[in-house]
Structure 1
């Protein structure tokens, strides 16, 4: 959404804006203004877009124009809206905000926040050892210019070996190193998707992937995930009917649901994609993190015979998000075309970071094993706290990855996220993982913080969830259909 948002669009994003803590103690205009601020904070309402005229929004919300006028006035006073007579009002943010670790806007004074908006772990202790070893290797590269558009050969070989160990023979020429998985996706979209091209994605899905697709002005269609994962006939039917240029899928511990795609469906998806001319972009960000002894199906690329599968992955989830190393696995000619595109974007990834990655991958078995034990403990602590404090929430226990996808006891995800922020917990509400403001009954909860922090966070969330019921209007607690 860029440029201007219409009244009906904003009304859809606002959803059940009455569901705010302290609702009976605050007027309608304050609730409306607070909801707009929440949309700005979690990225669903971009900066610099023109909001609808007061009369248009009042008609869309079926409220008085006076209420909208007062809400806009409060937004101007708090620095969230800039207005010019006769020209309209544009979204903005006050100067006391910064970009948080989620990539979203947050107040400067939130350093002690329990951040459940980020699904990533702190760095492992082995990172320091790897960094020291990398500095000793660096002199070998200092005699050159330092530009390696496809990545240094040591890292490409290490990544290729990891694919081969999973049953997918891969050469270094099929690997391109990128500055993180998100960068890998961006480069693939630049190469393979013309502006306005059609793309099929899962729903829910990774918000930053939706942002990247929006940047290409993609026409997005969705496959809705069921409680137990993908519906094979519906997914294959969507491919055959819409014939998208690309399909973006997360088959290993899908973000945010944690589902694992079975081998039989992987094979059928590749066959269907080839039949209709669709390229598959397979996000393998969580492939290293199966829990409870879960056995992984073969990589999707195993079933590819026609260069239809482009796999992306990286170091962020099993290792550390601050190490901006990702990669693309594709055919050797596709990698060369990606490198040509990349030269016009950022030239190459940092050599020192790539050397650190080489040393971490050399110790991958030990590091990843420790991560899995850590995540299993933290997941179980989070599940236990939810069962005790929020027993009406429904959660499917994931067999890997780093996130729970919780179905709440009412369509209050955005309201709950705003209320939780007031007690020091940052949440990622369900609508961030879909289109058009749906999924208000869902919430993504990563288990990447220490167990004690997760238990504390759930306690705070439970308290504000109770407040929503105590102070909300009864009519907003009725069940709603979630698309």
Structure 2
């Protein structure tokens, strides 16, 4: 299922599709032509799909309309598109292409230019002390050569004990170890959703979940997230109206807003999920990143232990994304099909990684403390720099997680991401995290960049914003 549209209606999609169009050699016209050829050839643009009108695309990319016109002419001459006055520019039916693929919301790591600062992906920094700890934890990593499709037994038992300690009674048999939280989400969605089913998510929400559900052909419905989190009454009403087959929620330090759903709202949601038997994924991947000593509300699943709520966790945000160890805690009703799906997927994850994870999680309180100290410093530094140099950008400092959800005084955040790239800063348009159309005014800024580089990053953002404001809506010279 490939979305269509133009920058006027789907700017985040085109911003993502053409995010690296300036890379390479040649004139801007040549680079844009090549990038669009790649989009067609890779299957991102389907036969018959309409390309944006020249003027809106030029505004989005920060180039002149004549450059876009010339690129479209090149595409037409090469047989990639057809152009007709009154009907616009469309991908030619005979254009070379592969199978149709999604334009992912998920930012992909690319080989950026030297000195580029990346605000699109949030991963913890790995220092010498963390590397030494992992080396020490790997002492038993190579002691056996067997398959554990559902995870290393000792690690499953430890995770079950952690859930039980936190007020959610769990047995080792209810735990599956996965290759990161993303695999857990993908396995659950693939098990529970069929093409045409409805999935209910917060909006905005984690782009990886959006992509997984879209790839399965699900119809997505969004429950708005406000300053206090999601309204449970809105969730209930939408669920009754649309009959979803799966829900995806992040009650604690919601990605990207950082909100924490209050206990009373969790209780209301859990009761509804238990009553309707609506399978629900509770994303816990940020639950360990609290910056205060204030106790968090119990997990959603703790209010209804028998409800079909699956808890998903990971070490990627707490320690290191490269370890690729995640897990899910399954209720009895969903255990059998999910256990089978995991076995069919890979016969089990990396045993060395799981042995390292086992040793690390035995020191979980210390890991939380160290991560809290490092992230709190970076959060406060980034927030202070933004307030000093970009005071018109609005945000709330979260009490946990790893993002600032920034609102710009502009409805063209996607266009600004392209301009910022020219100043060496990669940004992610927040509208890409909307399930339903989201105002194109937001940026998700993680505070996981090296603190030593944050002053330079904000200085570049300030310079890009000054140019953006000085020439609003004007065409750039090619």
Q: Give the TM-score normalised by structure 2.
A: 0.82
Output the CA distance in 2 between the equivalents of 1:257 and 1:377: 19
Query: Does 2:53 align with 1:50?
Result: no
Output the CA distance in 2 between the equivalents of 1:16 and 1:351: 38
Where does residue 131 of structure 2 map in the other structure? 128
How far has the Cα of 1:277 moved from its partner?
3.3
SS in 2 for 1:395: coil
**For residues 83-482 of structure 1, what are the structure 2 equivalents within 5 Å?**
83=80, 87=93, 103-104=107-108, 106=110, 108-123=111-126, 125-142=128-145, 146-332=146-332, 334-435=334-435, 438-473=438-473
Distance of aligned partners of 1:426 and 1:342 in 2 relative to their CA distance in 1, 3 Å threshold: same
SS in 1 for 2:247: strand
How far has the Cα of 1:47 moved from its partner?
4.7
Output the CA distance in 2 between the equivalents of 1:134 and 1:123: 15
Larger deviation, residues 146-155 vs 133-142: 133-142
Q: Is the 8 A contact 2:48 2:93 kept in 1?
A: no
Q: Is the 8 A contact 1:292 1:376 kept in 2?
A: no
Output the CA distance in 1 between the equivalents of 2:343 and 2:43: 29
Q: Is the 8 A contact 2:262 2:297 kept in 1?
A: yes
Output the CA distance in 2 between the equivalents of 1:278 and 1:205: 19
Q: Is the 8 A contact 2:284 2:313 kept in 1?
A: yes
How far has the Cα of 1:125 moved from its partner?
4.4
Output the CA distance in 1 between the equivalents of 2:163 and 2:404: 27
How far has the Cα of 1:148 moved from its partner?
0.7
Q: What's the CA shift string for 1:202-230, capped at 9, x where partnerless?
A: 11011111000011111110011123322
Q: Is the 8 A contact 2:206 2:256 kept in 1?
A: yes
How far has the Cα of 1:395 moved from its partner?
0.6
How far has the Cα of 1:46 moved from its partner?
8.1
Output the CA distance in 2 between the equivalents of 1:60 and 1:434: 25
Q: What's the CA shift string for 1:295-317, capped at 9, x where partnerless?
A: 21111111124331111111000
Output the CA distance in 2 between the equivalents of 1:336 and 1:149: 13
SS in 1 for 2:318: coil
Where does residue 61 of structure 2 map in the other structure? none
Where does residue 12 of structure 1 map in the other structure? 9
Output the CA distance in 1 between the equivalents of 2:161 and 2:13: 50
Q: Is the 8 A contact 1:15 1:437 kept in 2?
A: no
Q: Give the TM-score normalised by structure 1.
A: 0.81
Distance of aligned partners of 1:172 and 1:424 in 2 relative to their CA distance in 1, 3 Å threshold: same
**Residue segments in structure 1 that go unaligned for 5+ positions in a row:** 19-29, 93-101, 476-483
Output the CA distance in 2 between the equivalents of 1:474 and 1:68: 10
How far has the Cα of 1:76 moved from its partner?
8.4
How far has the Cα of 1:402 moved from its partner?
0.4
Output the CA distance in 2 between the equivalents of 1:103 and 1:430: 12
**Residue segments in structure 2 that go unaligned for 5+ positions in a row:** 16-27, 59-63, 83-91, 99-105
Distance of aligned partners of 1:14 and 1:111 in 2 relative to their CA distance in 1, 3 Å threshold: same
How far has the Cα of 1:188 moved from its partner?
0.7
Alpha-carbon RMSD across the aligned residues, in angstroms, is 3.5
Distance of aligned partners of 1:192 and 1:472 in 2 relative to their CA distance in 1, 3 Å threshold: same
Q: Is the 8 A contact 2:430 2:443 kept in 1?
A: yes
Distance of aligned partners of 1:387 and 1:90 in 2 relative to their CA distance in 1, 3 Å threshold: farther
Alignment size in residue pairs: 438
Output the CA distance in 2 between the equivalents of 1:409 and 1:331: 45
